[in-house]
Structure 1
Amino acid sequence: MDDGLVITLFRHGLTEENERHAYIGWTDSPLSKQGRAELSGKMLTPCHYVATSDLKRCRQTAELLFEHVSQEVYPEFREMNFGNWEGKTYEQLKDAGVYRRWLEDPFHVSPPQGESFQAFAKRIDQGWKKLKGKIMMEQLSRAVLVTHGGVIRYLLSSNSKEKTDFRDWNVSNGHGYALIWESRDMFRRGETCTSLREVPLTEKQSG
């Protein structure tokens, strides 16, 4: 049997837009002061490979959490493009009819000038195929993907046995989930992961 595989999905740390609960998709915002502080001095299980979205908030998170591991950037793992809603909050949008319809059915209603769920999912699937190729070619046993909340929800829905709706996964900033396969061959065949667990960030011990 092949060696097992663990892929950990981490959501980037806080940005100023996250702090004011605004939609932030393709807007290339950096981590906020609070976001950096929450990620600094954390200790994580060593990994062999770090993939990240190309947006600043993900690349900066990867640098803070895995400072001794080089990153490989995947634009396919960007968040959904929210179009005209970028940078806006629920309070600013709540009276717009298309926004209310999107909240009720985000799988068939798209943000104005933004990205449909189908285009979003297709893009992530393309990135996952590339990541799978990298893992299989180098026979990696531990990999990390630093990305966005929507991307993680989609990947959890696609790769977990749990029957949780896309919108119901809880993906907090700076936290993650480990997808675990008993063998890389199971992963290669596209089977769902064997087990799933949340990954807490542990503060480094002094000294």
Structure 2
Amino acid sequence: MVIALFRHGLTAENERKAYIGWTDAPLSENGREQLYEKGRPVSKYEWISASDLLRAKETAAYWFPEQSLCITSYFREINFGDWEGKTYEQLKELPDYCKWLNAPFAVSATNGESFEAMAERVDTGWDRLIKQSKQSNRIAVVTHGGVIRYLLSKYGVTEKNFWDYIISPGEGIELIWSNKESFRRKERCTLLQEVAFTGKKAGQ
């Protein structure tokens, strides 16, 4: 059983290191060029799910042009509320932001979403993948950095911290279970494997 988690391509907000959660930003010109250079995933997937935010939908449509996409809000990034589109330099003097930096899993962004609420939402999306696994053995999810970190911390081979995982825009990682039953029981996967792409960067 394989679940491939892909992070969407680069956006202008990513380029200037701004917080981007529910802001419906498109891929940047650089992001599009990087995707074209990288090419498409070498592996094939039977079912494709994608966050309903534009950057994820654009990425999924490029990678899987001939497949139907299941678009869902469950795999959105966390909502950064009033901090959307702003950088560390713009926020660093705000008391609420400093509190969040010190305890990001306990403190929410101003008018944003708590980590607990995000996790609950993503867990609901994961339950849908489990149901879909009745028909599919290889599933791809095009989503966001925070979602991928959360899922890897929960289902990765070994127990690691949320921050231990780094996945760049336009990259993917496969979670592989030796059998479907262990996946459906929500056990940790048995293997993590980077996704290879067809372009000149494949395998690098």
TM-score bracket, shorter-length normalisation: over 0.9
Aligned-pair CA distance for 1:204: 6.2
Partner of 2:40: 43
1:55-204 map, 5 Å: 55-136=53-134, 138=135, 140-203=136-199
- How far apart are the structure 2 equivalents of 1:18 and 1:201? 22
TM-score normalised by the chain length of structure 1 = 0.92
Query: Are residues 1:30 and 2:26 paired?
Result: yes
Is the partner of 1:76 in helix, strand or coil?
coil
Is the partner of 2:159 in helix, strand or coil?
coil
Residues 28-66 of structure 1 deviation map (CA, whole Å, 9 limit, x = unaligned)? 011111111111251321111110000110010001111
- How far apart are the structure 2 equivalents of 1:63 and 1:195? 27
- How far apart are the structure 2 equivalents of 1:155 and 1:43? 23
Aligned-pair CA distance for 1:199: 2.1
**What's the Cα RMSD here?**
1.4
Q: Which runs of 5+ in 2 are unaligned?
A: none
Is the partner of 2:85 in helix, strand or coil?
coil
- How far apart are the structure 2 equivalents of 1:79 and 1:116? 11
- How far apart are the structure 2 equivalents of 1:161 and 1:196? 7
Percent of aligned pairs sharing the same letter = 50
Aligned residue pairs total 199
TM-score normalised by the chain length of structure 2 = 0.93
Aligned-pair CA distance for 1:161: 2.8
With over 3 angstroms needed to count, the CA separation of the structure-2 counterparts of 1:97 and 1:127, relative to structure 1, is: same
AA aligned opposite 1:171: I
AA aligned opposite 1:53: S
